[in-house]
């Protein structure tokens, strides 16, 4: 029995958008072609692959790892189990940096992962100078591939937070660090992603404390620090910022109206 594309487009086993991403992956069609050419008859191999991949999605494997990419700020970023999968909330972090960055500002992205923050900043604002660090070599390789694929000029440095940066200073420091508490039940649902990108294996605030504590050595006067954090960490993070001498400290809420990003200015 031949199976038409429209039969698979109409399925209701997995999320509709996920299903389309899978079918695009399997057929190699564009989104527009996928919908316009729905009387396409799938090959036997395509049907088998489809059922295998649907099964993997149903088993909880993130779709982004199955197809090998995730969309962020309308661009495709390669992701592997060495990188966290970019989240829509992090687009808000990018927007905050874009709003704060003066012409030709120097920006540091700590724990860059897929480099979705660094690359998006550079492509949205080619005048910025972006340095991005990560402590894992395998992750930096993916970051560099994304920068090459998307033609973004970024300086990548292998560094455990600020450890390899010497005395370099920046106008803006941005980070989406691991902030999930070690015993948070959400971690089990995120078992496919690199745990070191999700949790500090402690109270969820230890990386944020370190990033904030050393920020004064790497921020130029009146520079901005912007950190993404958990929905319930706003108060603690504001306190860490203020205790470390940052001014104009505020927390910004995400699309779900949850406290998500805290920002502050250096002296």
In whole angstroms, how close is the CB of 78 to ligand GLN at the nearest point? 18
Instruction: Name residue 133's beta-bridge partners.
Output: 110, 157
Taking residue 188's Cβ as centre, other Cβ atoms within 10 Å add up to 8
Specify the residue, 5 or 200, whose C-beta has the smaller distance to ligand GLN: 200
Specify the residue, 136 or 179, whose C-beta has the smaller distance to ligand GLN: 179
180, 208, 227, 263: which one binds ligand GLN (CB under 6 A): 180
Specify the residue, 87 or 135, whose C-beta has the smaller distance to ligand GLN: 87
How far apart CA 244 and CA 49 sit, in angstroms, is 53
Binding of residue 139 to ligand GLN (CB under 6 A):
no
In whole angstroms, how close is the CB of 178 to ligand GLN at the nearest point? 5
40, 179, 224, 241: which one binds ligand GLN (CB under 6 A): 179
Binding of residue 178 to ligand GLN (CB under 6 A):
yes
Contacts (Cβ under 8 Å, ≥6 apart) of 178: 111, 196, 197, 198, 199, 200, 207
Binding positions for ligand GLN, 86-105, rule CB under 6 A: 87
Q: 247 near 264, Cβ under 8 Å? A: yes
Specify the residue, 4 or 231, whose C-beta has the smaller distance to ligand GLN: 231
Binding of residue 161 to ligand GLN (CB under 6 A):
no
Binding of residue 117 to ligand GLN (CB under 6 A):
no
Specify the residue, 27 or 114, whose C-beta has the smaller distance to ligand GLN: 114
Provide the token pair at 225.
């620090």
* Beta pairing class for 69-72 and 247-253: unpaired
Angle of helix 234-243 relative to helix 206-213, nearest 10 degrees, comes to 30
CA dihedral 222, 223, 228, 229 (to 10 degrees): -50
With contacts defined by CB under 6 A, name the span among 55-63, 116-124, 130-138, 176-184 that binds ligand GLN.
176-184
In whole angstroms, how close is the CB of 103 to ligand GLN at the nearest point? 29
DSSP alpha helix (H) spans, 59-165: 63-67, 89-100, 116-124, 137-149
Binding of residue 198 to ligand GLN (CB under 6 A):
yes
Identify which of 114, 115, 97 has the alpha carbon closest to the alpha carbon of residue 106: 97
In whole angstroms, how close is the CB of 125 to ligand GLN at the nearest point? 23
* Residues contributing to the site for ligand GLN (CB under 6 A): 87, 176-180, 190, 198
């Amino acid at each position: 029995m031949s199976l038409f594309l429209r039969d698979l487009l109409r399925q209701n086993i997995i999320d509709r958008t996920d299903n389309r991403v899978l079918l695009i992956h399997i057929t190699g069609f564009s989104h527009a072609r996928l919908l316009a050419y729905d009387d396409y008859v799938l090959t036997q191999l395509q049907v088998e692959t489809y059922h295998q991949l649907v099964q993997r999605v149903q088993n909880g494997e993130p779709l982004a790892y199955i197809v090998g990419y995730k969309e962020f700020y309308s661009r495709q970023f390669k992701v592997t189990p060495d990188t966290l999968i970019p989240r829509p909330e992090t687009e808000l972090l990018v927007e905050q940096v874009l709003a704060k960055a003066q012409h030709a500002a120097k920006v540091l992205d700590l724990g860059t992962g897929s480099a979705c923050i660094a690359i998006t900043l550079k492509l949205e604002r080619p005048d910025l100078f972006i340095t991005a660090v990560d402590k894992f070599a395998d992750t930096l390789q993916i970051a560099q591939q994304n920068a090459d694929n998307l033609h973004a000029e970024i300086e990548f440095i292998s560094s455990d937070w600020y450890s390899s940066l010497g005395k370099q200073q920046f106008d803006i420091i941005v980070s989406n660090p691991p902030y999930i508490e070690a015993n948070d039940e959400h971690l089990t649902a995120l078992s496919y992603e690199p745990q070191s990108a999700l949790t500090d294996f402690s109270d969820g605030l230890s990386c944020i404390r370190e990033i904030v504590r050393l920020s004064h050595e790497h921020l130029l006067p009146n520079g901005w620090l912007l950190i993404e954090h958990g929905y319930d960490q706003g108060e603690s993070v504001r306190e860490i910022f203020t205790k470390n001498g940052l001014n104009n400290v505020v927390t910004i809420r995400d699309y779900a109206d949850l406290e998500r990003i805290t920002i502050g200015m250096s002296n």
